[in-house]
Amino acid sequence: MIRLEGVTARKGRFRLDGVSFEVRRGEYGVVIGPAGSGKTTLLEVVAGLLAPIGGRVTLSGVEMGSAPPESRGVGLVYQHAFLFPHLTVRANVAYGAADDGTLREAADRMGVTALFGREVRGLSGGERQLVALARALARRPRLLLLDEPFSALDPRRRTLIRREVRALHREWGLTTLQVTHDFAEAGMLGDQAILLDGGRVLQAGTPAEVFRRPASPYVAEFLGAENIFSGTARDLGEAAPDWVDGRPADLAHGHRAFAFQTEGLTLYAVGDFAAGAGHAVIRAEEITIARDHAHDSARNRFAGRVTEVASLGALTRVTVDVRGTPLIAALTTRSAHELAIEPGLAVVATFKAMAVHLC
Amino acid sequence: MNDAPRPAAKDPGPPLRADPHRGAQRLASVVAALAGSLLLLFLAAPIAELVSAGGAEGLRRLGSDAELRSSLLLTAFTATAATLVGVVCGTPLAFVLARREFPGRAVLSAVLDLPLLVPHPVAGIALLLLLGRESAVGGAALDLGLRIVGTPLGIIAAMLFVSAPLFVSGAREAFAKVDPRYEGVARTLGDPPWRAFRRVTLPLAGRGLLASAVVMWARAVSEFGAIVILTYNPKVASVLSYDRFTSFGLSEALPVAAVLALLALVPLTLLRALRTSRPDER
């Protein structure tokens, strides 16, 4: 378990400020944030390499205080690997290895056994990251701290190693905290997502929760939400059951209906939001595009004209102008072709009230 | 005859204009090269003249001149002893200066640079005040049976004073070049601080430390001003060459001076070899 309570730390001019979150035993936590948000500093605090000036760090149920790194049972992998250049690959992996069996298993599973005789200087960036992962795992740590550990791997290798690390995490009962700037990676790996910016935790929760219910427009934007509108939400009272598609039970949990007024559009939303000024967030993949007013249960339905079509391989981003407000939808490229979507085409954009998140 | 229209001749465009600054740049390059060459000549010519005039005789005298031989051995021994003391005591100091932020660090650095700025006879006088038999330290050493002034210990003290700052400064730079994250990784792999230092930091800073030790040794060998005040006898090579010059003239001083100049080639070659440094690897 990794628990931080109000942790404050300083590194040069940078400051981690009152960071609190918990990754329970056996969970895979992912810290997401832009460059310079304090992700690496956070890992160094957990590892005991940087002493906090306030707050508490508890690992595996024991408050660490000023416990040194070597007694914390952590394995740390930096993005730039920091392999010891005066040692061979084998000597690097064996540096802190728990025993020969663990050394062999870690090296085999990270695919670096074949590199054992090599000097560090001849390795590629990806190979270095794999050796660094094997070196940290060979110690058989209780807690694994990973700083962008897959960033230098090619896409195929990244997928394989990500899967292997996740499998080891599960088999060895590790508690893992990984740093990334890639939310997709967080979604694939993480049980817990911790969003960090400017040294502060903006939001923490399951990746699905953070993704679906961003705490602020900034978080929504960072997580790639395309449609963010500012405006005012008006409480419409208890929502009618047909507003919560397939989830009538939600109403029993205090969900209410809202009308959100923005730039000449009224969006309908359902949830446990607060009325007043704020923002509405709709992810592009929640918006469907049709050529006519097909009948469905979606509460939000807007006629408009396509202004931009951008193909992104399997997906196509379609921008629809609705009375001067751009709505961005993500369609499969196949659907876009079938609908013959092109700029100037009159279409209808629809999305459910449940797809509108107010924050 | 082919009446087909011929393609128009390619328009050569406006004529290229000569760079108006080109002449001035060329002149500046010539002046800079000349100035650099003159300085190089000024630095190398005296040594070359010295070695060519007295080198062969100096090497021949190594076989016949017992005083020269013993002064060279004394020089090498005392310089090595001073360097060892400097390395043992200066390495932790350099590490702390490279790694730790603490109040007074700038003052400490300035104190370490001070011996490099003080004229060396002044350094000798200061050491005499501290270590002479009338002083508290010198008196206490005498009580323990250790005479400093006028003995090889005095030579070592003078050499240490003038050359140790060079080692500390070089070693500090060598440690600063080692990213502390290497140590951090070693710590997470189970090493306590001392073991991480021995297994990771020291090997990575090793070349820089060795180069700094060589610089310190070379500086110690070449010291004259502080030594001549603290310990005229027994004579190190620099004092012997001065003594021969003042007692017998240039012809007697020349072979000793030339051998000292040749001796300087040893650390120079070592330094060249060490400075073929490896790129940083992460």
Q: Confirm whether B6 is domain-assigned.
A: no
Looking at residue B7, its pLDDT comes to: 47
CATH number at residue A191: 3.40.50.300
CATH number at residue B120: 1.10.3720.10
Which residue, B114, B83, B110, B78, is CA-closest to B212? B83
Residue A275 and residue A216 in one domain: no
**Nearest Cβ partner of B190 from A83, A96, A128?**
A96
Looking at residue B4, its pLDDT comes to: 43
Closest Cα in chain A, distance from residue B186 (Å): 8
Residue A41 and residue A54 in one domain: yes
Q: Confirm whether B158 is domain-assigned.
A: yes
- Determine whether the interchain pair B184/A76 forms a contact, defined as Cβ–Cβ distance below 8 Å: yes
Closest chain A residue to B281, measured at CA: A85
3-state SS assignment for residue A280:
strand
Q: Is B210 on the interface with A (CB under 8 A)?
A: no
Residue A172 pLDDT exceeds 90: yes
How far is B95 from B168, CA to CA, in rounded Å?
Answer: 9
**Nearest Cβ partner of B188 from A47, A86, A128?**
A47
Residue partners of A280: CB distance under 8 A and separation at least 6: A227, A228, A229, A231, A233, A260, A262, A267, A269, A356, A357, A358
pLDDT in tens, A341-351: 999 999 999 99
How far is A58 from B97, CA to CA, in rounded Å?
Answer: 32
Residue A335 and residue A276 in one domain: yes
Where does the pLDDT of residue A27 fall: very low under 50, low under 70, confident under 90, or very high at 90 and above?
very high
- Determine whether the interchain pair A75/B188 forms a contact, defined as Cβ–Cβ distance below 8 Å: yes
Residue A166 and residue A266 in one domain: no
User: What domain count does chain A have?
Assistant: 2
- Chains A and B form CB pairs within 8 A to the count of 69
pLDDT in tens, A318-340: 999 999 999 999 999 999 999 99
Q: Confirm whether A6 is domain-assigned.
A: yes
Which of A40, A70, A72 best tests the B interface by mutation, with the highest count of B CBs <10 A? A70
Residue that is last in its domain, among A161, A189, A221:
A221
CATH number at residue A343: 2.40.50.100
Radius of gyration of chain A (CA): 24
Residue that is last in its domain, among A221, A253, A284:
A221
Q: Percent of chain A, pLDDT > 90?
A: 73
Q: Is A82 on the interface with B (CB under 8 A)?
A: yes
pLDDT in tens, B229-265: 999 999 999 999 999 999 999 989 998 888 888 888 8
Which residue, B193, B192, B234, is CA-closest to B67? B234
How far is B94 from B87, CA to CA, in rounded Å?
Answer: 10
Q: Is B186 on the interface with A (CB under 8 A)?
A: yes
Domain that holds residue B179: 46-274
Q: Confirm whether A95 is domain-assigned.
A: no
Mean pLDDT of B188-202: 96
Q: Confirm whether B8 is domain-assigned.
A: no
Residue that is last in its domain, among A202, A221, A240:
A221
Looking at residue A202, its pLDDT comes to: 92
Burial of B43 (0-12, 13-18, 19+ CB in 10 A): exposed
User: What domain count does chain B have?
Assistant: 1
**Nearest Cβ partner of B185 from A76, A120, A121?**
A76
Cis peptide before B234 (omega within 30 of 0): yes
All residues of chain A having their beta carbon less than 8 Å from the beta carbon of residue B278 are: 85, 121
Specify the DSSP class assigned to residue B248.
Answer: H
How many whole angstroms from its chain centre is CA A286? Answer: 19
Q: Is B188 on the interface with A (CB under 8 A)?
A: yes
- Determine whether the interchain pair A70/B184 forms a contact, defined as Cβ–Cβ distance below 8 Å: no
- Determine whether the interchain pair B278/A44 forms a contact, defined as Cβ–Cβ distance below 8 Å: no
**Nearest Cβ partner of A82 from B182, B192, B203?**
B182
Where does the pLDDT of residue B11 fall: very low under 50, low under 70, confident under 90, or very high at 90 and above?
low
Q: What is the DSSP string of A21-73?
A: EEE-TT-EEEEE--TTSSHHHHHHHHHTSS--SEEEEEETTEE-TT--GGGTT
> pTM for the whole thing?
0.79
All residues of chain A having their beta carbon less than 8 Å from the beta carbon of residue B192 are: 68, 70
pLDDT in tens, A110-144: 999 999 999 999 999 999 999 999 999 999 999 99
Mean pLDDT of chain A: 90
Which residue, A255, A264, A215, A249, is CA-closest to A235? A255
All residues of chain B having their beta carbon less than 8 Å from the beta carbon of residue A74 are: 188
Domain that holds residue A241: 225-358
Q: Confirm whether A130 is domain-assigned.
A: no
Closest Cα in chain A, distance from residue B113 (Å): 26
ipTM above 0.90, yes or no: no
Q: Is A120 on the interface with B (CB under 8 A)?
A: yes
Residue A177 and residue A156 in one domain: yes
